[in-house]
Amino acid sequence: MNNLDQENLNLTCETFTGYTRDNIAFLKLHKHFLLRTENLNDRDRVLDYLDRVSSSRSIKLLIMAGAPDAKGRDEFIAFFKNFYARGMDITLIYRMYNFIGQLVLKLAELKKFTIYINSGNVLASFLNIGLACDYRILTDTALIQNPGIDMGLAAKGGGAYYLPRLIGHDRAWDVMLSDKDISAFEAIGMGLIHEVAPSEHIVEIGFRRAEEYAQKPVSALSIVKQLMYFSIRDFKEYMEYENKLMINAIKKNQFCQKLN
């Protein structure tokens, strides 16, 4: 990898850490990534990082690591309760939803193979981010949680687009409307993820899978991915519609009563 690539792809900021290993880029989101409303510019640097990965001639694959040690459902609901109690600007939530949409689209459009890894309590929006990647690994203790359903909301990030294609419409309904946790072993049995890994080894296993895919011709990986995501044009329209529904629900305060 040339020096310019190293300079662009090896960095740390408040919301994420990025580094490279040979021809693989690793992007690790920090704790409270989605709930950081005060430093939007720093969070949005993730999108710039993905653009750098996309344009790098040296990088063949990307590993995206979800935010670690998330408290999950209770923390998510507490964030919204605190948000309204403090009378904060509602546009910050709009921006958070817009950012999730931009991130998922960016991952889906990325012409390079992407591997998603996560651990702990995995919020449904983080699962959706993983669904925009090509290969997904969770730790053996991971739990997928859907706290939005407790507030009358769907999880942001394209779940209703990806899930029916992965697990069928009937099971997608069950997953998106359930308030029950889904274990990593249940998730792999349903086809939501590809692999379950021990917590202490998940990063290395992620790199091992990346190295296996890196042996494939770059052009073949790129062509197959673009064919797989040929319907990305429909996905863009879906994300716009999803945003409209979610923001309308927030504007009408349809879920505020659920927080009391």
Q: β-pairing, 135-139 with 143-145?
A: unpaired
What is the predicted pLDDT for the residue at 250?
76
What is the predicted pLDDT for the residue at 218?
85
Q: Measuring CA to CA, which residue among 162, 154, 155, 91 is closest to residue 132?
A: 162
What is the predicted pLDDT for the residue at 1?
46
Contact 150, 258 (CB under 8 A): yes
What is the predicted pLDDT for the residue at 259?
55
Render each residue's pLDDT in the chain as its tens digit; 260 residues: 454 455 589 988 888 999 999 999 999 998 877 766 556 676 778 999 999 999 998 999 999 999 876 667 887 777 777 777 776 667 777 888 888 899 999 999 898 999 999 999 999 999 999 999 999 999 999 999 998 888 888 899 999 999 999 999 999 999 999 989 999 999 999 999 999 999 999 999 999 999 999 999 988 988 888 888 777 778 889 999 998 888 888 777 655 555 55
What is the predicted pLDDT for the residue at 40?
65
Find tokens 């770059």 and name the residue: 218
- Note the Cα 189 to chain centre separation in Å: 20
Rounded to a whole number of angstroms, the CA Rg of the chain reads 18
CATH 1.10.10.10 fits domain 3-259: no
**Which element (helix H / strand E) includes 65?**
strand 61-65
What is the predicted pLDDT for the residue at 185?
97
pTM, 2 dp: 0.89
What is the predicted pLDDT for the residue at 143?
95
Contact 258, 77 (CB under 8 A): no
Domain spans in the chain, listed from the N-terminal domain onward: 3-259
Contact 93, 157 (CB under 8 A): no
How far apart (Å, rounded) are the C-alpha atoms in residues 200 and 68?
Answer: 12
What is the predicted pLDDT for the residue at 33?
78
